[in-house]
Structure 1
Amino acid sequence: MQHLDLHERPPEQIRHVYKKYQKMKPAHLDTDEDLVTLTSLSHAALPDRVHVVRELDAEPDIVSVLTKVGLHIIPSLLPAQVQSALLSRLLHRDLSNPAHLTNIHAHYNITYPPAQSSFFALPRSSQDPVATPLDPNIHKPLTVAQLLDKKMRWTTLGHQYDWTAKTYPESRPPPFPVDIKTLLESIFTHTKAEAAIVNLYSPGDTLSVHRDVAEASSHGLVSVSLGCDAVFVVGTGDKVLSLRIQSGCAVYMSGPSRFAWHGVPQIVAGTCPPCLQDWPGGSLHESVDLDDWKGWMAGKRVNLNVRQMWD
């Protein structure tokens, strides 16, 4: 297990690539020669620096995968039905679980819906606050539309990472959702799903370049994307790869890439696949009317990033 500085600045080369795609107009992404769009290329046409894993029957060879970085890219891993089911579990159930921390908790108290329900079961037009500020002089109350459309940026599963202290608390965490754990560990057999962050992005949102170094484990990181496309940059030193990640794709950062620098400089508007564009319509039990929220996912990207805590 490496011991890396949480506060170290990323290398100049990856920061340069990140800024390039942060500023790039979406219309220019399709013609950018350095951006690898996996699903639009045949296996034979992929650049030499990219090795696409079609099936993960066993741990792929780490050294030879990607310029000795150990990055595994699995396009179209999850079929449409599984993507929709996973969204429902993450956003209906897990986002509505009071045991799971969110970015909102730093400044707000949240009023959660009843057990077995969802924030999406609340009328989108409701003006009743679901989040009240800890300091009303600084923040205003949030309606459910304000919360879900823009303010909610992430929630945690399993071990609850403290982003202020940049560490995991010693208190006992809520259990990692068994169904999601079973799904991921059946595919990525060398990583135990013990902690996760669920990121909610809109076009215009970014994730700055960083390394995931808080866990005492060198086992691979699992990242699954749902919804709109994202530009993902990853690198070690002067080796940087730029990928256009699409819904249902997964990235597995193992070996040397476990502690690689990575970030998301752009979410590409209008690219959510048709199978998810109407979500959450039809995704909850029939007695709940979700017409207010139909099409919410058309302008979102949801990313599930999972890690193992200890070797």
Structure 2
Amino acid sequence: MLSNEDISVGYTQQDYGVTESDTSISSTSANGFKPLFKLYRHMPYEEFDELCFDPELKPESNTLLDPLFPENYKQLHPNDISIATYPFSTDGLSLLSGFIEASHSQIAMGSFSQCPATFEEITLKSVPGLRIYPGALPPDTQRQLLLNVIEEYLPPELHLTNLDPTYHIPKPFNLFAHPPDTAVLARSENTSPTTFKALQNKKLRWLTLGGQYDWTTKRYPTFEPNTKDFPKFPKSLWAFLSGESQIFKTSINPEASIINFYSDGDILSPHQDVAEKSSADLASISIGCEAVFFCGLSKDKMPLQIRVRSGDVIVMGGDSRFAWHGIGKVWQSTTPDYLAEFDYTANFDQTDIDPQIAAGRQHYADWILNKRINLNIRQMLD
């Protein structure tokens, strides 16, 4: 089993609370993931960047894939990887604009001038059903997604976070609507109070949308829609992914999502997502800092290592839907400038926005500079 020593640079499975199966890895069996956690534990970003261009520099990085430069992986595994190119169709653009239009507060769109004319789909024989879409989300969409996570997905009382069992979190939960030194009281005398600055920096780790996954029992409390433990999925995110997506080449009815908030050096131990009754595709969206993502059909073999950047989308379907996966490391200050230098106070609709929330937007750019936000969207019911 991965010990606390082995994963001291980030969150353990218990700490992070996103395990959905018995993810323990026996110390007596082969463990293909463990050498990779050790490899990346203290690796500087510059070394990781160099490794992506030359995976042969280290024997453990033999399965490292940089989706923007797949030829490096292809040289090592010529028969494993396939790359297809698709036009960014009118339907795809409508999907992106529909997401923004369904959001509570909308970005001032510039006709998606930064949207690429084409996008790529990477598939691998070694992980059947896994599909990688590097840079699939243009900057405007990523900015809107960041705003929605903070202002639309976090606030509702029914959307639980890892903080709720420990602290008296004010509802609606507005992460930046209070001064940083504002106290947040603990629910137990054995736990010290904290501050909003601490919540922003490290303590906020996950948020659940739709079906409210129970981290203790590793299951959903109910599969009955429109109940307290299975509230409606946010309209904007549902519109983004429902139906036959023209961008992600997937069909999914979004009913639950785990949103993970990562900081510098964080990891996520190997696990499988098996709590749902549906085997429909799982979509994973990344914004913010870069990370290395592990994915493999067996926990005993070295997994595929994928460099993930802001705007990347990964779809786990087919055999890969129940693959073992995790995060090897997150690197700070790797958020692209179009997120970290954007003025969130001037480029979004301010109509009917609480003045405290509007003022809080001045902190979004600095916050996302050293954060990685990952949205895992899944279908619960067949």
TM-score category, normalised to shorter length: 0.7 to 0.9
The number of aligned residues is 295
Post-superposition shift, 1:41?
4.5
SS at match of 1:99: coil
Counterpart in the other structure of 1:136? 189
Give the whole-Å Cα distance in 1 for the aligned partners of 2:164 and 2:131. Answer: 34
Q: How does 1:24-43 map to 2 (within 5 A)?
A: 24-32=43-51, 33=55, 34=61, 35-41=64-70
CA spacing shift, 1:194–1:29, aligned 2, 3 Å: same
Match of 2:370 among 294, 299, 304: 299
After superposition, give the CA deviation of every residue in 1:38-65 in whole Å (9 maximum; x if it has no partner). Answer: 12446996753333454499xxxx9x74
4+ residue segments displaced more than 6 Å: none
CA spacing shift, 1:168–1:144, aligned 2, 3 Å: same
Match of 1:257 among 317, 320, 343: 320
Query: Which consecutive residues of structure 1, in runs of 5 or more, have no partner in the other structure?
Result: none
Q: Give the TM-score normalised by the residue count of structure 1.
A: 0.86
Contact 1:195–1:306 (CA<8 Å) still a contact in 2?
A: yes
Counterpart in the other structure of 1:192? 253
Task: Name whichever of 188-197 and 300-309 sits farther off.
Answer: 188-197
Give the whole-Å Cα distance in 2 for the aligned partners of 1:204 and 1:44. Answer: 25
Q: How does 1:150-189 map to 2 (within 5 A)?
A: 150-170=202-222, 172=227, 173-185=230-242, 187=245, 188=248, 189=250
Counterpart in the other structure of 1:17? 36
Counterpart in the other structure of 1:147? 199
After superposition, give the CA deviation of every residue in 1:182-240 in whole Å (9 maximum; x if it has no partner). Answer: 11125254221111001111102111111111111211110000000010011112252
Counterpart in the other structure of 1:88? 147
1:281 aligns with 2:344: yes
SS at match of 1:209: strand
Give the whole-Å Cα distance in 2 for the aligned partners of 1:292 and 1:29. Answer: 29
CA RMSD of aligned residues (A): 2.6
Match of 2:276 among 199, 215, 225: 215
User: Partner letter of residue 22 of structure 2?
Assistant: H
Post-superposition shift, 1:19?
3.0
Give the whole-Å Cα distance in 2 for the aligned partners of 1:294 and 1:90. Answer: 14
Identical-residue share of aligned pairs (%): 35
Counterpart in the other structure of 2:285? 224
CA spacing shift, 1:102–1:23, aligned 2, 3 Å: same
Give the whole-Å Cα distance in 1 for the aligned partners of 2:375 and 2:86. Answer: 20
